[in-house]
Structure 1
Amino acid sequence: MKRSAILLLLPAFITILYCGKKELKPITESEKPLFEKVLSENDKIVQVLLTTENISPNVTELISSLNSLESAKGGLETSASEMKTVLEEAKSSDIKVSFEAYSKFSEILAETMKVRSLQSGRNRFYCPMVKKTWVYSGMRIFNPYAPDMRDCGDLIP
C-alpha cells in the first residue's frame, strides 16, 4: 500500500520540481558592458567607503547604471530590478539603514555574478563581525563597513 502510494505520487513530485525550475533568460551582448558599468560603479562606492567614515554611500550613479541594465530587457533585467529596489533604501541618511541596504544589494550582485559567470575579477566578501556583504575587485579583504577592522572578513566562493 505504501509502495503504491509512493509510486503514484513520485511522478507528480518530479513534475512539480521540474516545472518549478525557472529557465534563465539569456544575457544579451548589449547587457555585458552595462553589467560591467554596474560593477565599476560598485567599485567606486566601496573605494569611497574605504576612505571615509560614517557616511551613507552615494548610490545615484549605481542606480542609473542599473536603470540602463534593466532597460536592456535581457537576461539581467530581473536582477537589475531587484538590485535597484533594494538599493533605494541605501539613500537613507541613517548609516545603519544605508549599510544594510547596500549589503543586501551586494548579496544580489554577488549571486548574479556567480549564477551568470560574470565575476570580472570581482569577489564576494562577508564580515561576520558586522554581518555585511560586499563585492570588490581582487582577493584581498578591504572591509568598507568597519573603519577599525578593514581586514576583517572572509572571501566567499
Structure 2
Amino acid sequence: MKRSVILILLSSLLLSLSFCKKEEKPVLETEKPLFEKVLSENDKIIQFLLTTESVSPDVSGLISSLNSLEEAKGGLESSALEMKNVLEGAKSSDVRISFEAYSKFSEILASSMKTHGLQSGRNRFYCPMVKKTWVFFGMKILNPYAPDMRDCGDLIP
C-alpha cells in the first residue's frame, strides 16, 4: 500500500514537472529585421577578416545590433544576450583570444539561425585545422581565420 502511494505521488510529481516546462517565446515579426541586421554586421566582420591579417575585428556594430535584438524582448532575446556576452572576448587585442570568442559567437548565431529558420542565404562553416566556426553568405568556403588556408573548411548543415 505504501509503495503504491509513493509511486502515485512520484508519478504525479513527474507529470506536473513536465507541464511546468518553460515555454519558449515565439520570434516576433519585429525581431526578424533586427536579426537580419545582426547577420549583416556579421557579414561585414567576415569581409574585414578576409582582407586583413592578424587583426581583431571591431565588433561594436555587431554588439549594438544585438542590443537592439535583445530589447525587442521576443524569442531571440536569450540568444542575443548569449551572443553579446560571448562577443565581449572578441574585443581583445590578442587575435587568438578575439578569434576564439568570435568563433563561439558564430556557433550561437548558426544555432539561432537554424532553430528559428532565419538563414537568409547564410551558412555555417567549420575549419578543423584552426578549430573555428563562422557564418557567411553563400556556400563557398572562405576561411576568415587563416589567410594561408582560405579554402580550408566544411559547410555544416
The residue number in structure 1 matching 2:149 is 149
- TM superposition score normalised by structure 1: 0.89
- TM superposition score normalised by structure 2: 0.89
The residue number in structure 2 matching 1:71 is 71
The residue number in structure 1 matching 2:61 is 61
Matching residue's letter, 1:84: K
Matches within 5 A, 1:105-120: 105-120=105-120
The alignment status of 1:47 with 2:43, answered yes or no, reads: no
Moved over 3 A (4+): 7-22
Matching residue's letter, 1:118: L
Deviations 1:87-145 (Å, cap 9, x if unpaired)?
Answer: 01100000010000000000000000011110000000000000000000001100000
Please list every run of 5 or more consecutive structure 1 residues that lacks an aligned counterpart in the other structure.
Answer: none
CA RMSD of aligned residues (A): 2.0
Please list every run of 5 or more consecutive structure 2 residues that lacks an aligned counterpart in the other structure.
Answer: none
Q: Percent identity?
A: 75
Give the direction of change, closer, same or farther, for the CA distance of 1:17–1:60 in structure 2 (3 Å limit): same
Partner Cα distance (2:49, 2:56) in 1: 8
The residue number in structure 2 matching 1:132 is 132
Matching residue's letter, 1:130: V
Partner Cα distance (2:44, 2:36) in 1: 12
Matching residue's letter, 1:104: K
Which structure would you say has the larger Rg? 2
